[in-house]
Amino acid sequence: MRTSDFDFSLPPELIAQEPVDPRPASRLLWLDAARGIVAEGLFRDLARWLRPGDLLVLNDTRVIPARLRGRKASGGRVELLVERVLPGGRELLAQLRASRAPRPGARILLGAQEQAGEVAVEGGAEGGA
């Protein structure tokens, strides 16, 4: 099995920005492999679906600190939400939020002035920033 076996398309608008409140109201995808059923439910109802002998897999991995804040040359604030690091490790795919989308080729200053990094904007989001 390879991690690439789990690659799939996930539209940015479906990525949660904050956890649901209350947390037990989180949505849950449930699979009954024996009957070939996939169903949606709520986390608070999990005990209703579990039977003796079932396997419950817990994922306690931590999410990378993927939210970066910076400024455009104009001084406008920008926020980047990193989705993934691209092959080669020198580029990444990120969602960009700003009051006005920077143009392709624009530079974004990240971090404190003494140790700032720069990001070059390549391409543009369809439908705005």
Cα–Cα dist 50/101, whole Å: 47
Average pLDDT per run of 10 along the chain, which is 129 residues long? Answer: 75 80 88 86 90 83 76 86 83 84 81 60 53
Q: Which pLDDT score is estimated for 111?
A: 73
Contact 89, 83 (CB under 8 A): no
Contact 87, 93 (CB under 8 A): no
Query: What is the pTM (predicted TM-score) of this model?
Result: 0.44
DSSP per-residue letters across 40-95: EEEGGGHHHH--TT-------PPPP--EEEEEETTS-EEEEEEEEEPTTSS-EEEE
For residue 113, give its domain range: 67-120
Asked whether residue 84 is domain-assigned, the answer is yes
Name the phi and psi angles at 101, rounded to 5.
-65, 130
Asked whether residue 87 is domain-assigned, the answer is yes
Give just the sign of the alpha carbon dihedral 49, 50, 56, 58.
Answer: positive
Q: Give the β-pairing of 67-72 and 77-85.
A: antiparallel
Domains held by the chain: number = 1
Asked whether residue 92 is domain-assigned, the answer is yes
Asked whether residue 94 is domain-assigned, the answer is yes
Q: Which pLDDT score is estimated for 128?
A: 42
Asked whether residue 48 is domain-assigned, the answer is no
Q: Which pLDDT score is estimated for 64?
A: 67
Residue keyed to tokens 């990444």: 92
Q: Which pLDDT score is estimated for 42?
A: 93
Asked whether residue 44 is domain-assigned, the answer is no
Asked whether residue 110 is domain-assigned, the answer is yes
Cα–Cα dist 109/76, whole Å: 10
Asked whether residue 109 is domain-assigned, the answer is yes
Strand partners, 82: 94
